[in-house]
Chains A and B, each alone.
Chain A
Amino acid sequence: MSRYVKGRKRLALGFLAVLAAVAMAVVLFACTQTPTPVPVRTFERAQKVDFVCLRMTKDLPDGTRQVIRPEGRPVNECTPTPADEDGASFTNQLFALVTQTTRGEVAVVNLTSGIIIDVSAKTPSANFLPVGANPTDIASAPDGQMTFVASAEPNKAAIYALPSERILGDKAAVRSYDAAGNAIDVPLPPDPLGLPTLASWPVCALEQAPAALSIVPRAITPGSGDPGYEVVAVLPGDRLTRAKVVTIDPKPFLRGAGLLPADAGAVVAPGSLAPCVVTSAVELAGEDLVPPAFQKGPTWPNGVPYADAGALDLTCEVPAHSARCGLPPCCATTTDGGAVDAGACARPEGDAGTIPLDVGPLEAPRVVAIARDEQTIYVADEAVPFVHVLDVSTPGAIRERAPLLATSLTDPSRPVGVRALAVSPPTRDYEKFLYAVDARTGSLMVFDVSAPSDVVRTPLTRPFPELNPFQSPDRVAFNSPVVAVEFARADVPVTRAPEDVTGLTGALCNPNPNADPNDPGILYRANSAAPSAAFGAFGPRRLRGVFAFVTLANGTVAVVDVDDWDAPCRRPARLTGAGPTFVPPQGETEPAYSSIARGQTATGTDPYSAPIAAADSTSDEAYFPVSLPHRLRSAVFLRASTTTGKQIPYVSTAPVVERRGVQLATAGNGSEATPILEPTIERPAEAATGPGVRFSFEVPDVHIDQDWSITYEGALPGFEGYSGALATEDGFESLVVRQPGARFCAKGVEDWDLGRERAAAVVSALQSAGRRPPAEAIDRRMADYVQITSDLLGPDDDYWKIGSSTEAGSCWKDIEAAPGRARYDLCNATFGAPGDESPGRDFPILEAYDDKLVLGRFFNFQTTPNATREVVYKHPTNARSLALAQCCFHGQAKFTVRGGGQWVTVGSSYGFLSHLVPGAGGRCEPSCDPREALLNARAPGVPRAATGDAPAISRDSVLALRNPVFSFFVENGIAVVPDDNGGSRVVDAPPLRDTQWRFTTRGQFQSLSVAIGGQSTSVSPQSMRFIPPLGQVAVVDAASQGLVIVDLRTVSIARSPFF
């Protein structure tokens, strides 16, 4: 074969290979999907974790160490592994036991040395401890001798007891070092009973599958062999068996495991599945005890725990209410009658009265989780809205106390199930809080459980809920459902001298310039030189106090402030606009107190009696309080800094104004006709500057980065995709658009009545402000209107051929168009294409209901859409226009709703804010719930003042828009027109439809959190547990991350996950 032939053949084969590859690629692309990569893991659906401390060596008299069979010890006898030490050599080592639900096993992880334990050297891959199928919970005894595992295996519900001495199998070792410093792994002495199997464990049978376990400590009677605890098992209840909580005697397990003499009582022999020895049991209260009504819970602390709390006055940080709500304005400082939207102060704070709890028929209790606080057990119920409270202080006699009632203020008729819970350690004020996870919303309820009570308690409520109406008033909500919650108390103790090893804990940071020099709180100030490297820099990541760690379903662990001991120093340096900039320390020249705002006293030394803080003692952030109990903790200082940049809300670039893609002039020729976006004034008054908005600095977590548009007669979002049925109930004097799914009230549709009310308030406010009156009759213009957006059917569609022109009730009746093309032509001439935006497609909303709109027509609608036009109410002259609308769009049409004669504000995240609700008969009307007072998105066009000295407009004025994020008002442009005398005059120039201001806000709130999966999306967190001796939190992930350890000192992943 010649080289030429060979070459051609290679070429052909190459071509064929490419062709075949292309063909196969096309086939594969078309017919298959890329298989999901499945990471290789030794963990399979890990779910729960607990910890055991094991002693691995003992010191011999000759000064050497001997490796021994593992011996369980209390967890606090294990210590963290310093970064520069080898934990594998420690005498006491801490182990995590993690349930594996797919395989019915318990994985053992050595947290001290950082390895997963393979319990069998002979079997390939990592081997774990076998237990019953579907393990649901795990709990280790306080003495470290035994770990109990609940198994929900079908037909074999049981509790397995794993003696600590047998959990390491035959492969574990302790590291030692020879004289030369070489590491030697010394294996543990062999287990005399061999490798553990399923039959190795003492196991007892339960009457139903257990859901959760806990351990309750007991007094030890000397000589009795009491281990000092009982096992508490939650039996969830099912169709055939009532939910119960039982206490189980652990001694039979210990006897079965050989840890107690077997001749002293009942024995649970290994593998026997004998009935568990239940020492007490209680069937949990059910539907019968659900009260018919409840009281709104008290508000939780507002973060300013002292009466003389500085100059902060939050009481007037809300707008005035609507007159329709029947109560007078709460703040006397508003410059006019208040915004028509506002509902604030309609119901005084804390006076919610009795709220009916009409939850309908309930199922039997179904309990799923447990939390213990000393001798009190809290049990979460998914079916009955209770957190059951059980007093277990008397062995053998569990007593159920009054439950915590899980309620929802936003939906009182919803039976609230609870899925997980945790109890906090006591705060500095000896308060304890229970966090309960609302099973449906995945948010947290906060209960005050500081003291036992026989009174039903409801969730605490948020102070000043109107400032962040996106949060439920009685919940702490997140962007993903809460899976698990855990509390931790942490501190960085102050040591004043090298020999002081214990240090002081619990000191509040004290920025007060008058503070006692011996107050340790001074050492925690922002400018304090850290006493040691471990002290941690002052800032969001230094956790001192009580914090909640909340694991979300999306794999995020978020930090929630409960009792932040640095909180007094997280604040602006000055809490008042006036006064000295520096207050000398005590003993020096006293400041001029007369110039300091109310709240501070000459003798006050506590952390909160300091309107003006000692120099550089605070974080000088923009908010106060920065750290509020039960609120997400910020990851950054909330301030604008030259080093860290802007970490407070701001407009990223200058707002722009345009109309349908054409930018409008804001300076120079033609700019006088351009409406101007202006921030409202601060209180006390200051000059307004524009264009721009004034941000609200009341609560940081309300701010989300987003794009905003403020559009004159803009479209209200939320109607895309909806088609409304067009019909008449009065012979086409009006036309009804019916769309039950549209929820017009919730989407903020205002009708003619509300528009007239708003218009009257605007006219009155303009008069008070000394401004020109509106150029048009806004009381006949300020109503939302429907714009039909459907295409007409094609000219050849069969539709045009049907329907009688003479039959009563037919929309074609009396319309002079014969069936067929003539009808299409008539409709096309009347309505045109949607893109043309013919004014004939606009229909004012006379009445707005939640499921329908009653439409009239505009007078003079043939003129341009932005020209003055007025609403025609129900009237016989409407018949032809409205009948045509029904006929031409074959009885159903897509539509949008536009705000009539006003600016419409839409945020890309928050959307169009409104607080309309269905009232009597379903008619849309403003809510009187004060919490919704700031849900506003409409602003009138404000005619410019005739003179330059008109009062500035405050954010609570009806002429302004105030929402939770910012406030502004929009001044109309002006035009010069000829007057009657041959001269000219300046007149108000209302904007044209679709004139739009656009801007972007940045500097959103960033919560302090950790992503347990890093960049991975293969995360499914299941549970979490605080490890006190390590100052770490363990999170169990069932997807790919296994066991993740979060360090509280750095608020970051402590080490590579174990999986």
Chain B
Amino acid sequence: MGRQGARLRAFLAASALLAAGAAGASCYSQGDGADPPLDRFYFPVGLRVSHGGSVLYVANADFDLQYNGGTLQSYDLTLIRRHVLEVIKDPTNPALPWVRPPYPSKESCLAGEAPALQPNGSRQPLGETCAPPVRSEFYQRDTAVIGAFATDMLLSEPPTVAAPAVPRPYDRLFIPVRGNATLTWGNVARDTVDAIPPDSRDVAAYAPWRIDCGQSATSRRCDARHQVGEDPDEVGNTRKLRMPGEPFGATLSEDGRTAVVTHQNDTKTSLFLTGIGPTDTDALTGTAEVVPSLQFVLDGVAVGGVGLAAIPHDPAAFVDQPVPYPAFLQTSRANAQIELLRQYPDEAVDLVTLADGGTRLPSGQPTTPSTLRRPFLTREILFPITTSPSGVDSRDLAIDPTPRLACKARARTPDEVLACARKPSRLFVANRSPAALLVGEVGGTNATTGAYDPDLVTIFRSEPLAAGPSRVFLAPIVDSDGAYALRVFVVCFDAAQVFVFDPEAGRLESVIRTGPGPFAMAFDPFDMAAVARHDKVEDDKRIAGLTRYRFGYVASFTQSYVQVLDLDRRQPSTFERVVFTLGEPTNPKGT
């Protein structure tokens, strides 16, 4: 057979390997292959902005398995924001690290009349006319390697209860990773609004740039301790559990103590302790760090679990009765419903909440615990989706507490405070059949009992969207008076559009066309209470001429880059438009 036979054998072997790999390990990397690129995006799926606004954290998925893992990266957001401002002022600024040299005139962009064609007659890529791509490597600061197929990224909230005795100096990132079925986590030094990052590219120059997931200096790969869910014997996993496959959606509980993770091809939902909470001391046992651990796997939820959101409970809404245990809403691709899950502490009595957010047993109870205090989840009730003929294929969801926060800010009497605390939160669900933003409420009066039910879900409206809605984000714009005004950003993956919905007016505000396959979004840091009150946006002391909140960031999954959106209504020519392109748009290999 000669060469042909050799080719045939090689092809046969490759096909057999492909088949064996496909059948045995599904589509996941077994650790072979080249190391992933450390300084650029590769199928970004998670974006988070540090609480101080100086760092953009990015989770990359390695979706086509070109490499032996995905990455977790940090970018100098202060520098990015400064350059965004410069691009808006002058899109031809030669000092910027362009991938492609800009050609439009500064005047045409400022006038909003930029040409759609390049000088060579070819069509200018969408969004790049006045924002040609810049090299993302210039802004990248640190990278760690994680498993393939990350799906999202969570960032812990800063402590809400001050306990200065043992301050927690860091925040924590959590990434559900499908490739190895783990919840991968890492610590990052806490970034504050007052901190000023240096003009340096050295990751050591500014602590929040550095990601700590136990990675080695050479491989940059996160260690096993930072990938929980795989090992039934890991610390804190007293039930000896292993996380099911295909983790997908994730959310943190309201107090941050637990993380809940969906599994998209299974009827299970996993519960983790995060090792941190609303107090600075939650993360430490003595001087030892408390690490995340898998606690419980709930079975029986609808298959195709995707979106998760924690229901906000206001303690002021519960007079002479305990605040409900943490509750979560979960969506499903398969069923036209939203499920209510609740987390219990596995204790026979209601714990007393202390002033610092900690808990203790009530008086009269034995001091020796009679249980192992292992939290667990239950599946309480289903809320059907009736606002469309199908209602299936629900994706992300978001719960907006600002009606309650705004009302409480205006309340004067205890009765008013109670009424405001019981005001329903708004609920937004991305649904694909048909493409729609489902609008509803969480909380209200139970029609049967007449009692206040903080977890009652009502979906009453369906706003049409373009194809493929995937993610829902709550974030403000800067309104015409310089104040925060909340918006709902719905990312439509298939249509490459971001729909901006005004929840207070109850109507669509605009549609932003983005690069192909938008998925993750992040925003400059903001405080939801300040948004609810419509506080004025403060100036950013680090960058002259910029407010502390102004930009949104949307990652193109398909072309592996990040676009920056201007969210300042006072800038009519750039409002809700792409103003900066971070990284070179790159099509997936083979396309």
Q: Which residues of chain A come closer than 8 Å to B447, judged between CB atoms?
A: 410-411
Q: Which residue of B lies closest to A553 (CB)?
A: B387
Q: Which residue of B lies closest to A728 (CB)?
A: B348
A813 to chain B, nearest CB (A): 8
> Chain A, 64-97, contact with B by CB distance < 8 Å: what is the 0/1 string?
0000000000000000000000000000000000
Q: Which residues of chain A come closer than 8 Å to B389, judged between CB atoms?
A: 554-555, 1011, 1013, 1016-1017, 1019
> Chain A, 306-340, contact with B by CB distance < 8 Å: what is the 0/1 string?
00000000000000000000000000000000000
Given contacts A36-B494, A799-B372, are A1019 and B19 in contact (CB under 8 A)?
no
A735 to chain B, nearest CB (A): 10
Q: Which residues of chain A come closer than 8 Å to B535, judged between CB atoms?
A: none
B299 to chain A, nearest CB (A): 11
Q: Which applies to chain B's interface (DSSP): helix, strand, loop or mixed?
A: loop
Give Cα distance in the complex from A45 to B325, angstroms.
41
Given contacts A16-B12, A1017-B434, are A553 and B407 in contact (CB under 8 A)?
no
Q: Are B506 and A36 in contact (CB under 8 A)?
A: no
A342, CB-defined interface residue at 8 Å: no
A207 to chain B, nearest CB (A): 12
Q: Which residues of chain B come closer than 8 Å to A723, judged between CB atoms?
A: 344, 376, 378
Given contacts A554-B389, A1022-B464, are A30 and B378 in contact (CB under 8 A)?
no
Q: Are A553 and B569 in contact (CB under 8 A)?
A: no
B349, CB-defined interface residue at 8 Å: yes
A1026 to chain B, nearest CB (A): 23
Cβ < 8 Å to B, chain A residues 838-896: 850-851, 886-887, 890-892
Q: Which residues of chain B come closer than 8 Å to A134, judged between CB atoms?
A: 507-510
Given contacts A481-B386, A481-B387, A553-B462, are A803 and B370 in contact (CB under 8 A)?
yes
Q: Are A102 and B366 in contact (CB under 8 A)?
A: no
Give Cα distance in the complex from A1038 to B467, angstroms.
12
A20, CB-defined interface residue at 8 Å: yes
Q: Are B434 and A360 in contact (CB under 8 A)?
A: no
- A536-544, A606-614, A740-748, A899-907 - interface stretch: A740-748
Residue among A363, A441, A740, A1016 making CB contact with B322, cutoff 8 Å: A740
Q: Which residue of A lies closest to B447 (CB)?
A: A410
Given contacts A727-B349, A746-B446, A1013-B389, are A799 and B26 in contact (CB under 8 A)?
no
Give Cα distance in the complex from A554 to B461, angstroms.
10
- B118-126, B286-294, B478-486, B558-566 - interface stretch: B478-486
A440, CB-defined interface residue at 8 Å: yes
Q: Are A19 and B19 in contact (CB under 8 A)?
A: yes
- B136-144, B416-424, B538-546 - interface stretch: B416-424
B87 to chain A, nearest CB (A): 21
Listed residue (A35, A36, A479) with the most chain B CB atoms within 10 angstroms of its CB: A36
- B69-77, B151-159, B166-174, B448-456 - interface stretch: B448-456
B222, CB-defined interface residue at 8 Å: no
Q: Which residues of chain A come closer than 8 Å to B372, judged between CB atoms?
A: 798-799, 802
Q: Which residues of chain B come closer than 8 Å to A1013, judged between CB atoms?
A: 389
Q: Which residues of chain B come closer than 8 Å to A30, judged between CB atoms?
A: 22, 26-27
Cβ < 8 Å to B, chain A residues 337-385: 358-361, 363, 366, 368, 382
Give Cα distance in the complex from A102 to B569, angstroms.
20
Q: Are A23 and B18 in contact (CB under 8 A)?
A: yes
> Chain B, 186-229, contact with A by CB distance < 8 Å: what is the 0/1 string?
00000000000000000000000000000000000000000000
Q: Are A440 and B365 in contact (CB under 8 A)?
A: no
Residue among B386, B433, B505 making CB contact with A366, cutoff 8 Å: B505
Q: Are A741 and B324 in contact (CB under 8 A)?
A: yes
Q: Are A811 and B505 in contact (CB under 8 A)?
A: no
A155, CB-defined interface residue at 8 Å: yes
Q: Which residues of chain B come closer than 8 Å to A366, judged between CB atoms?
A: 504-506
Given contacts A410-B447, A745-B449, A1019-B388, are A441 and B458 in contact (CB under 8 A)?
yes
Q: Are A725 and B368 in contact (CB under 8 A)?
A: no
Q: Which applies to chain A's interface (DSSP): helix, strand, loop or mixed?
A: loop
Q: Are A1017 and B433 in contact (CB under 8 A)?
A: yes
Q: Are B348 and A743 in contact (CB under 8 A)?
A: no
Residue among A480, A917, A1020 making CB contact with B449, cutoff 8 Å: A917
Give Cα distance in the complex from A19 to B11, angstroms.
11
Listed residue (A30, A102, A382, A741) with the most chain B CB atoms within 10 angstroms of its CB: A741
B376 to chain A, nearest CB (A): 8
- A233-241, A489-497, A824-832 - interface stretch: A233-241
A413, CB-defined interface residue at 8 Å: yes
Q: Which residues of chain A come closer than 8 Å to B15, judged between CB atoms?
A: 16, 19-20, 23
Given contacts A745-B449, A1013-B389, are A154 and B464 in contact (CB under 8 A)?
no
Q: Are A27 and B27 in contact (CB under 8 A)?
A: yes
Give Cα distance in the complex from A5 to B346, angstroms.
70
Residue among A13, A239, A441 making CB contact with B534, cutoff 8 Å: A239
Q: Which residues of chain B come closer than 8 Å to A24, judged between CB atoms?
A: 18, 22
Q: Are A553 and B461 in contact (CB under 8 A)?
A: yes
Give Cα distance in the complex from A804 to B321, angstroms.
30
Give Cα distance in the complex from A820 to B575, angstroms.
67
Q: Are A740 and B446 in contact (CB under 8 A)?
A: no
B8, CB-defined interface residue at 8 Å: yes
Give Cα distance in the complex from A741 to B569, angstroms.
43
B298 to chain A, nearest CB (A): 9
Given contacts A154-B575, A721-B378, A721-B379, are A102 and B506 in contact (CB under 8 A)?
no
Q: Which residues of chain A come closer than 8 Å to B451, judged between CB atoms?
A: 743, 850, 918
A738, CB-defined interface residue at 8 Å: yes
A379 to chain B, nearest CB (A): 15
Give Cα distance in the complex from A155 to B568, angstroms.
12
Q: Which residue of B lies closest to A359 (CB)?
A: B419
Q: Are A810 and B534 in contact (CB under 8 A)?
A: no
Q: Which residues of chain B come closer than 8 Å to A363, judged between CB atoms?
A: 403, 406, 504
Q: Are B436 and A1020 in contact (CB under 8 A)?
A: yes
Q: Are A807 and B455 in contact (CB under 8 A)?
A: no
Q: Are A155 and B569 in contact (CB under 8 A)?
A: yes
Residue among B238, B467, B572 making CB contact with A36, cutoff 8 Å: B467
B427 to chain A, nearest CB (A): 12
Residue among B322, B410, B464, B494 making CB contact with A1020, cutoff 8 Å: B464
Q: Are A725 and B347 in contact (CB under 8 A)?
A: yes
B285, CB-defined interface residue at 8 Å: no
Give Cα distance in the complex from A891 to B366, angstroms.
13
B380, CB-defined interface residue at 8 Å: yes
Q: Are A1019 and B434 in contact (CB under 8 A)?
A: yes
Q: Are B8 and A26 in contact (CB under 8 A)?
A: no
Residue among A26, A807, A917, A1019 making CB contact with B367, cutoff 8 Å: A807
B445, CB-defined interface residue at 8 Å: yes
B432, CB-defined interface residue at 8 Å: yes
Mind listing 17 A-B residue pairs with CB under 8 Å?
A9-B8, A16-B15, A19-B19, A24-B18, A30-B27, A31-B26, A35-B494, A36-B432, A133-B510, A211-B507, A236-B505, A240-B480, A361-B410, A480-B387, A802-B369, A851-B321, A1020-B464
Chain A interface (Cβ < 8 Å from any Cβ of B): 5, 9, 12-13, 16, 19-20, 22-24, 26-27, 30-31, 35-36, 38, 45, 101-102, 133-134, 136, 152, 154-155, 209, 211, 236, 238-240, 358-361, 363, 366, 368, 382, 410-411, 413-414, 419, 439-442, 479-481, 553-555, 721-723, 725-727, 738, 740-741, 743, 745-746, 798-799, 802-804, 807-812, 850-851, 886-887, 890-892, 917-918, 1011, 1013, 1016-1020, 1022, 1038-1040
